[in-house]
Amino acid sequence: MKQILTSILLVILMAGCSIFSKDYNLIATSYKATDKLLKGVRDIHHLEPRSNGVYTNQPILVTSFVNIDNVQQSSTLGRVIGEQIGSRLAQRGYKVIEMKMRTSNVFVQERTGELLLSRELREISFQHDAYAVVVGTYGAGKESIYVTAKLIRAKDNVILSSYDYYLPIGPDTKRMLQKKH
C-alpha cells in the first residue's frame, strides 16, 4: 500500500512539474505577432493617411528569424516563426512572396532559411517588387526566448511596425533552438 501511495504521489509530482516545462502554442503566438504587426501598421495609417499603410495587394517578403548574437545564423525555431508569420499574412489576404521559389540575391543556405542582409534589402525588394519585408530576431535566456518581429518598408528601411514577445523554453522550443545550421 505504501508503495502504491508513493507511486501515485510521484506521478502527480512529475505531472505537476511538466506543467512548468510545456511549450507555448507557437502557431498561436506567431499568428498573434503577425496580427500585432498588421494592427501597428493600420494604427499608423490612420494617423498619417497614405504614408505608412501596407495594402493587401502590395507584395511582402518574409525572412527566417535570426539569432540576435549572430545574424547570419538561424535555427529550426527561426525558420518556423518566419514560415508561420508568412502563412498568417497570406490568411489575412496579403500578397506574400514565397522566398524559396525565388532565391536569386537572397542568402539561402540549406537548413538555414532565407536571411536578408540589410545592405541588400532594397535591391532584393526591387527585384521581387516587394513593398515591405518582415524580419526578426530571437535571443535565448535561461527560461525564455525573446523575439522581435519588424515590418520594414523596403524602399527606405523604415520600420512600419514592430512587436516584441517571449516564449518560455519548453522541450519543443529547446530542440528547435538547438538545430542551428
Beta partners for residue 151, in sequence order: 134, 161
pLDDT given at position 156: 84
pLDDT given at position 145: 94
Distance CA 136, CA 147 (A): 7
Pairing of strands 60-62, 96-97: parallel
pLDDT given at position 115: 47
Q: Is the pLDDT of residue 167 over 80?
A: yes
Domain ranges of the chain: 22-178
Q: Would you say domain 22-178 falls under CATH 3.40.50.10610?
A: yes
Model confidence over 111-156: pLDDT tens digits?
A: 444 445 455 566 666 677 889 999 999 999 999 999 999 999 988 8
- Euclidean distance between the first and the last CA atom of the chain, given in angstroms as a whole number: 52
127: its cell numbers: 527585384
Distant-in-sequence contacts of 101-107, Cβ < 8 A, 24+ apart: 102/128, 107/72
Q: Is the pLDDT of residue 69 over 60?
A: yes
Residue 154 near residue 133, CB atoms below 8 Å: yes
Model confidence over 93-107: pLDDT tens digits?
A: 999 988 765 445 444
Residue 146 near residue 138, CB atoms below 8 Å: yes
